[in-house]
Amino acid sequence: MIGYDPYSDEVMRNPWPFYARLREEAPAFHLEKYDCWFLSRFEDIWQAAIRPDVFSAETGVSPGQILLREPPPPPTFTTMDMPRQREYRALINDTYKRGRVAKLEPRVRALTRELLDPLAEKGAFDVYRDLASPLAARVIGELIGLDREDADALREGIALFFGREPGQVGTSSEGAAAMEAMMERVARIVVARMEAPDEGGDDHLSTWVRARPEGRPMTVEEICGNVYVMMVTGSEVVPLAVANTILYLAAHPDQRRRVRREPQLIPAAFAESLRYDQPTNLLGRRLVQDVEMHGKTLRAGQGVMFLWASGNRDPREFERPDEFDIDRRPRRSLSYGHGIHKCVGEPLGKLEGHVLLEEILRAAPDYEICHAGVERTYGEFLHGHHRVPIEFDSGAAQDGSAG
């Protein structure tokens, strides 16, 4: 008896032993209480993610939508199948192409230093709470077209929505209230933008208000849904991954020394952190036709969860998968998803992660982790550390820019 349940206290605290058993003993695992299958091996997830004709996103992809059968969300490109998904995703896709993202580097670095410089003077700060989280929210907020106050407020609401306590299944009443308040706030912003003259802006709100996908204007609800999706993906994954990287480098002093001496290793360290402790733990689909996997018949109408974090530790794909190793250069990973729903913001996420790590190591090259204050995220959806306080000699900053 494996005893896996994504909402159980044991799994939320330490999923890795469960994932190891699932991969070896039940790679297609069915939980009757949710009528849902869980895929834990890398190759199974990789192949399923490129079969939207079998594994549909149309009824939602979050654990709540697949496992708890919460109502489908407002349509966004993250919850559409082809061909509709292509048209809606294309509305903002160009913003996240590598060339466009590279031009954002000076702005991302300036925002990072705006936050970091006063923190560095104190000689102590929390990597996630004080730096990475507000930075990511402000960057994605500017791309969406939100002012700083709104972006920060949405970031706080998202944290409340995903907050969990032992025994809690799905969001709490406080989390639901936070979601309602967020959507009301975003709706006011969207309506104001719709009523204002079109000034030709290229932020996402301007694009969505002007757009005519499928030959019609997008509704307020649809635009609100897109704002929410971009804020969640844009403000949670990178901060968790950066905080993880700082923590895991400290736990591996030899690797940390090499990264300090050779800043060109920062992208590899960030990529390994994403693989080793993937922030997006799981996402799902719903079957639209029967499919056979590992001697099991997965039936149309049932849910399927892709255990991304488990796949990224599959020994069939990675040697020594439970070791943190910045020399790893995998040919494939699931860190940004796969298939038509692969993260549109991957280049931006990499840029933010690299800049944040460069600047932290410049300002605090000899940082020490305040282990008593470290906290791991507790929940079924997001993984990683949302409290990583560090201390350092405020006068030991390295000269010049790491970038």
pLDDT digits (tens, 9 = 90+) for 55-93: 999 999 999 999 999 987 788 999 999 999 999 999 999
53 CB neighbour count, 10 Å cutoff: 10
Going 280 to 281 to 287 to 290, the CA torsion angle's sign is positive
Q: Which two tokens stand for residue 346?
A: 């991957």
Q: pLDDT value at position 1?
A: 80
Task: Decide if domain 9-383 falls under CATH 1.10.630.10.
Answer: yes
Q: pLDDT value at position 258?
A: 97
Q: What is the pLDDT of residues 231-241, one digit of tens each?
A: 999 999 999 99
Query: Domain-by-domain residue ranges, the chain?
Result: 9-383
Q: pLDDT value at position 394?
A: 85
Nearest to 107 by CA among 154, 141, 152: 141
| Distances, alpha carbon 199 to alpha carbons 196, 224, 259, in Å | 9, 20, 45
Task: State the average pLDDT for the chain.
Answer: 95
On whether the pTM is more than 0.75, the answer is yes
Nearest to 204 by CA among 188, 185, 190, 184: 190
